[in-house]
Structures are given as structure tokens and as C-alpha cells.
Chains A and B, each alone.
Chain A
Amino acid sequence: MAAKPKTYDEAFSELKSLAEKLESDEISIDELSKVVDRSKVLVKYCQERLRSTEASLNAEDNN
């Protein structure tokens, strides 16, 4: 779960599954903040990728 998503589709389906788990009450209060933090990471990943090109992303990764 801590791995960086590789594709938009990966990130989005993970996000959806977190939402579903939350909906079905599978998440305990302790895990709640972890779920919210992870979903923030996923959203940030998507938004950053939408606003940068492969080139700039690769440069970032190499730095």
C-alpha cells in the first residue's frame, strides 16, 4: 500500500477501493487516518502527473 502508484488507472482503482472499504465499515478508527493520508497521496500523484510531462517527471525521479 505504501508503494507509489505507477499509472493513473492504478491510482484511481486504489482510491476507489479505499472509498469502498470505508463505505462498508471495514476500516477501524485507528486505520482511518492512514486511509485518508493514503488517499491524499493518490490524489496528489494524479494531479501532479496531469500537470507535468514525462520528461519533467523523469528528471524529478533522477534527482
Chain B
Amino acid sequence: MTQYTLSDFNVLVKQTLTDHLAPSYWIVAEIGELNVNRNGHCYLDLVEKDGSQIKSKCRGTIWSYSFVNISKDFERQTGSQLVSGMKILFNASLEFHEVYGLSLNIKDIDPSFTLGEREKQKQATINQLEEDGIIDLNSSLIIPTVPQRIAVISSESAAGYEDFMNQIEQNQYNYQFDFRLFNATMQGHAAVESIIGALHQINSIEDKFDIVIMIRGGGAKTDLDCFDDYDLCAHLAQFPLPIVTGIGHERDSTISDLVANVNLKTPTAVAEYILSALMRFENDVLTVFDEIRKNATQKVRDHLDHLNVMKNNLNASVEQIMQKEKYQLEFIATSFQQRPFEIIKNETNTLILISKLIQSQDPEKILKKGFTLTKAEGEYITDYSKIKKGDIIETISFKRTIKSRVE
């Protein structure tokens, strides 16, 4: 039988592999572990799992000159760095080293596969949340008109948190808030448990708050995958207070955003949202107050106008009455002035008439006309039947008196 030295055998293996394998293959695997040494070379443990069981395993390398570009491109397209747990599609050649054994030398990674995987996973999580009937729960909560008592889930050291606090505490309207920070890791896989922990803390004193905000500064492209985690999202969805997210994503929103009551892009947007809620309320209050004022003023004016009209009417009536009285008085006064003269005039006329009448009865006037008066025994005779024969009568005419005897 042929005997090989180990090195000879390894050479044979190496040759066989080179002869029978293609220069490279596209392979799907999960990153079990990933390390980048100080020279920039990336060393990975690639695995294929069946549930939690490892079905297959192989070492992989990405030399630094490739790794620089691959990782940059990967991050640009997926928004994430290459991390453990991630499923990737890569192009690699099989390397057999006499001392170090088999490894895959990765030359390229297809980011769209990972994206696709992520999307699939995301969709599966969303479906599960829907199935559980909890996906809409937080969205159905009603945010108070004035959200002033706010529980903040964020990382104290994050720039996003500081910016947010500055912006909202130094607002130009002088609105005041009650904030309480619940510190949590806001990236990487540790974030899931950390944030859930914060949620539990808030839950134990939930009546002290109006809303919960979850904020994280953007800027660097860091891992948002934790916000797609089912466990975290289930907690958020079922939380008894409305949740507002501002976790600084640039492109797609995460499932956390989906289940939250309100989702905004950045902590700044969250600050603006809260301030505008207070502003809107204050505006509404002032608008109604303005209506009240205007209405009241108008009513008073109307009332005054009405009183004025009444006053004018009253004045007019009084004026009318006064006028009537005045005319009546004037009339009487005039009468008093004229009447005496009239009376006197009348009486004078009467007197004149009477005197004329009397004068016309003057015997002299009658005698002048040729008439005579007869006297007997010194008395005027009117009844001639008394005169007898032999009586002496005086016939008085105008100029003479004739004595005669009746025959």
C-alpha cells in the first residue's frame, strides 16, 4: 500500500480540490462569528443552522484589501455592517492550507440577498404581530391633548437625546414639561432587552406619564435591526401608553415605527411634534376665548344700542307732548290777548246801535218829519178814545204848540 507523509497527502488533497472545483462559488450561509484583526483582515465562522442546531460549519476570510470595499458597499446598500447572526450570499473560493485546513476566501458579498432576507424576516414578524392581534393596539390609544409628562427611552450619552432636551426645554413659548429618562442601549442586539427593561420600569408607574417617546440620534449608519425584533415590537405594541418613535432612520421605517402610535424620523421631529401639540391647544383655547370676548362685547353693544333707541323714543314722545302743551298754551294766551278787545268792540257796537236806536226815537226827529204830539191836561195822549168833545188839547209840532178845542 502507498504510504503518504502528511504534507504529501495534503498536497494531494489540495491538488484534487483545485482540479475538481470551480474557481469560486456563490454560497448562502449565516455569520456565526466575525472578527476584524488589526491588519484589517476579517475572519468569520460561517454556519448553517437547522433550528438552533448547527448543521454545517466552515471558516471564512476576507482579506483586508477586499474587506474595505466589501464592507463599505454592504453597509451602503443595507444600512448595516456585517454582523454575527446575519445571513449572507457570498462568492468564495475554497482554500486548503496544509497547516490551517479548509477555509473559504470570500471575494464578494451580494447585499441584495441580505436585504431580501431581512425583508422576509421583517414581513414574517409583521405577520406574526398581525396574527397575534396586537399590531394596532398602541396606534388605537389616544394621545392626550396636552402631552406634558413624558417618559423618555434613550441613551443618556447619545447626541440625539441631548439635542432633543435642549430643543424642547428651550422652546420659545416657555412651555414646561415633566421628563424622566429611562436609560437604555439603543443599538445592537443588547438594545432589545435594554428597551424592554425600560418599558417595564415605565409600566410600573404608568399613571405618572402622558406618553412614552423612544429617541435615538441618527448621523452614523448603525444597526437598526433591533427595532425589527419581534419581542421588542410586541412589548411596544401592547404598551398601555401611546409611544412616539424618533429613532433617526434615513430610509425604511422599522417595525417599531409601525406599531408605535406616532412615528417620526428624528428626535428633533419628536420635539417639534410635542411642542406643536401644546401650541395647537393654546391656539384653540385663545380662539374660543376670542369668540367669547367678541360675542360678549357685541351683546353689550347691542344692548346699549337698544337702550339708546328706547331713550330716543322716550325723548321723542316727551317732546311731542310738550309741543302739544305749548301750542295749547300759546293758543290760550293768544285768545286771552284778543278776546277782551273783541268783547269791548262788540259791546261798543251794541251801544252804538242802541244809542242810534234811542236817537231815532227822539220825539224831535219825529216832530221834524211833520208828526205831532198831543197833550191833554198836561199829559201826552196815546189813547184817543178818551178824548171827548170840548176837551182842550195841545198839539205840539216841531216849531209851535197849538192849543185847540175838540169839536
Chain B residues near A51 (CB, 8 Å)?
173-176
Which listed segment binds A: B20-28, B262-270, B295-303? B295-303
Residue in chain A with minimal CB distance to B298: A22
Contact residues, A40-63 vs B (CB, 8 A): 40, 42-43, 46-47, 49-56
Q: Return chain B residues, CB-CB under 8 Å to A40.
A: 289
Residue of A nearest to B177 (CB): A53
CB-contact partner of A15 in B174, B282, B285, under 8 A: B285
Per the bound structure, the CA–CA distance linking A42 and B146 in Å amounts to 15
Q: Interface code A1-34, partner B: CB below 8 Å = 1, 0 otherwise?
A: 0000000110110011011001100010100100
Closest Cβ of chain B to A22, distance in Å, is: 5
Q: Are B178 and A53 in contact (CB under 8 A)?
A: yes
B177:A35 contact, CB within 8 angstroms: no
Main secondary structure of the interface of B (DSSP, over half): helix
**A39 touching B289 in the complex, CB below 8 Å, given contacts A29-B299, A51-B175, A53-B177:** yes
Q: Is B149 an interface residue (CB 8 A)?
A: yes
In the bound assembly, the distance between CA atoms of A8 and B293 in angstroms comes to: 20
Q: How far is the CB of A8 from chain B (nearest CB, A)?
A: 5
- CB neighbors of A among B249-302 (8 A): 278, 281-282, 284-286, 288-289, 291-293, 295-296, 299-300
Which residues of the other chain, A, contact B288 by a CB distance below 8 angstroms? 12, 15-16, 19, 39
Write out the residue numbers on chain B whose beta carbons fall within 8 Å of the beta carbon of A12.
Answer: 145, 281, 284-285, 288
Shortest A5–chain B CB gap in Å is 11
Shortest CB–CB separation between residue A41 and chain B, in angstroms?
11
Interface size, B (range)? 20 to 34
| Residue in contact with A36 in the complex, picked from B176, B178, B282, B293, CB distance below 8 Å | B293
* B176 proximity list for chain A (CB < 8 A): 50-53, 56
Q: What separation, in Å, do the CA atoms of A23 and B292 have in the docked complex? A: 8
A12 to chain B, nearest CB (A): 6
Inter-chain CA distance A11–B145, complex, in Å, is 12
Q: Which of A8, A23, A54, A56 contacts B145 (CB 8 A)?
A: A8
A32, A46, A49: the one contacting B299 at CB < 8 Å is A32
Given A22-B295, A36-B292, A36-B296: A46 touches B178 (CB 8 Å cut-off): no
Q: Which residue of B lies closest to A9 (CB)?
A: B145
Bound state CA distance, A47 and B285, in angstroms? 9
Closest to A27 in B: B299
Could you tell me the distance between the alpha carbons of A12 and B106 in the complex, rounded to whole angstroms? 66
Does A32 contact B300, Cβ atoms closer than 8 Å?
A: yes
With A15-B289, A43-B286 as contacts: A23 and B295 at CB distance below 8 Å: yes
Q: Which residues in A have their C-beta under 8 angstroms from that of B177?
A: 53
In Å, the complex CA distance between A55 and B138 comes to 28
Is B295 in contact with A29, judged by CB distance below 8 angstroms?
no
Tell me the nearest residue of chain A to B286, going by C-beta. A43
* Least Cβ–Cβ distance between B83 and chain A, in angstroms: 42
A23 nearest in chain B by CB position: B295
Complexed CA–CA distance, A56 and B144 (Å): 21
Q: How far is the CA of A9 from the CA of B286 in the complex (A)?
A: 14
Q: How far is the CB of A28 from chain B (nearest CB, A)?
A: 9
Residue of A whose beta carbon sits closest to that of B293: A36
Which B residues are in CB contact (< 8 Å) with A22? 291-292, 295-296, 299
Closest 10 CB pairs of A and B: A22-B295, A8-B146, A39-B292, A53-B176, A43-B289, A53-B178, A15-B288, A46-B285, A36-B296, A19-B291
User: Which A positions have Cβ atoms within 8 angstroms of B?
Assistant: 8-9, 11-12, 15-16, 18-19, 22-23, 27, 29, 32, 35-36, 39-40, 42-43, 46-47, 49-56
